[in-house]
Amino acid sequence: MPALYATTREVGIIALVDLSGRIALGEGSALLRKTIRDLLDSGNNKILLNLGDVNYIDSSGIGELVSGFTAVRSRGGELKLLHLTKKVHDLLQITKLFTVFDVYSDEPTAVRSFQ
Amino acid sequence: MAPDTKHLEVTLDTHVESVNLAEEMCLRVAEAAGFAEDECYRIGMSVREGVINAFHYGNQEKPDKKIHLGIDLTGEKMVIHVMDEGKGFRLSDVPDPLAEENLLSTSGRGIFLMRSFMDEFDVVPGRTGGAEIIMSKKLPLPKSASGNGNLRPSNSDATPHQEA
């Protein structure tokens, strides 16, 4: 089963993290946690997670997204989501987290939302 | 167990890799039983969540304890059993992850996902003293009555299978 890969790029004032693979118990969840923690430690608290190539999230991965969301918010920042696949969209919908996260389907709009 | 039921059983270590192993094993059985891709995803996710539950909450990640995974294929459904060696739990004690006060909880969604994705779901006391999760999914209609060497019990190929 493929692992998770994360690449961070700066887009204006935000850190945009392109994720691909699975956010699941083990390495995937751990990498997401480390990526967000490293961004916060280096002063980035406006974070956009691009989940366009994330085809699988389990309950551990959902927990890690929520944990990241609350950690960023506690530092006065924002964590938002971009490009959900259908499976991830449905998962956030049934867990009612769609109402918690700001979710965008195009990058420019998502980036502008942080201004 | 009914004579036409096919049964698979495996004992897994209390290790994070067991979660992936259990998911892959059940996915193969589900594919061979003829489930469509979306249903396989739901079955795989449910097995994953059941084993995560056994690994983390039941066995509390203690390596000396085991996780027991069983799969039954009857003529009508795929039944999955996940048993841990913990202290057991009652479903009524599990907090509702959709409650407003739990929405930002970082855990506690596994049971909810299994309930959502499977047709039947229950937790009973296991023979090891821990919890036994039992969940099932109704088999899809067979594409042909001739059989194709899949894992369906043999009599299901001869009997017309109708949705309720």
> Token pair for residue B60?
């509390």
Distance from the Cα of B2 to chain A's closest Cα (Å) equals 33
- Tell me, yes or no, whether B52 lies in a domain: yes
The region, left, alpha or beta by phi > 0 then psi within -120 to 50, assigned to residue B10 is: beta
**AA identity, residue B17:** E
Distance from the Cα of A20 to chain B's closest Cα (Å) equals 18
pLDDT at A49: 98
**DSSP strand pairing (B120-125 vs A14-23):** unpaired
Write the CATH number for B20: 3.30.565.10
- Tell if the CB–CB gap between B104 and A1 is shorter than 8 Å: no
Q: Check: CATH 3.30.750.24 for A5-112?
A: yes
pLDDT at B53: 97
Model ipTM value: 0.92
Each residue's pLDDT tens digit, A97-107: 999 999 999 99
**AA identity, residue A52:** G
- Tell me, yes or no, whether B154 lies in a domain: no
The mean per-residue pLDDT over the stretch A62-85 comes to 98
Chain B CB contacts of A24 below 8 Å: 19, 48
Each residue's pLDDT tens digit, A17-49: 999 999 999 999 999 999 999 999 999 999 999
Terminal-residue alpha carbon distance, chain A: 38
pLDDT at B143: 65
Q: In what order do the strands lie in the sheet with B120-125?
A: B6-13, B66-73, B77-83, B131-138, B120-125
Chain A CB contacts of B48 below 8 Å: 24-25, 58
- Tell me, yes or no, whether B72 lies in a domain: yes
pLDDT at A111: 97
The answer to whether the beta carbons of residues A41 and A65 sit under 8 Å apart is: no
- Tell if the CB–CB gap between B41 and A87 is shorter than 8 Å: yes
Residue B21 structural domain: 6-143
pLDDT at A79: 98
pLDDT averaged per 10 residues in sequence order, chain B, 164 residues? 84 97 97 96 98 97 98 96 97 96 97 98 95 97 57 45 35
Chain B CB contacts of A99 below 8 Å: 103
SS3 B130: coil
Reported as type and span, the H/E element at residue B6 is strand B6-13
pLDDT at B153: 54
- Tell me, yes or no, whether B105 lies in a domain: yes
Each residue's pLDDT tens digit, A50-73: 999 999 999 999 999 999 999 999
Strands (DSSP E) found in A1-115: 5-11, 14-23, 46-57, 78-82, 103-104
- Tell if the CB–CB gap between B104 and A25 is shorter than 8 Å: no
Chain B CB contacts of A26 below 8 Å: 16-17, 19-20
| Contact residues, chain B to chain A, C-beta under 8 Å | 16-17, 19-20, 23-24, 41, 45, 48-49, 52, 97-98, 103-107, 109-110, 112-113, 116
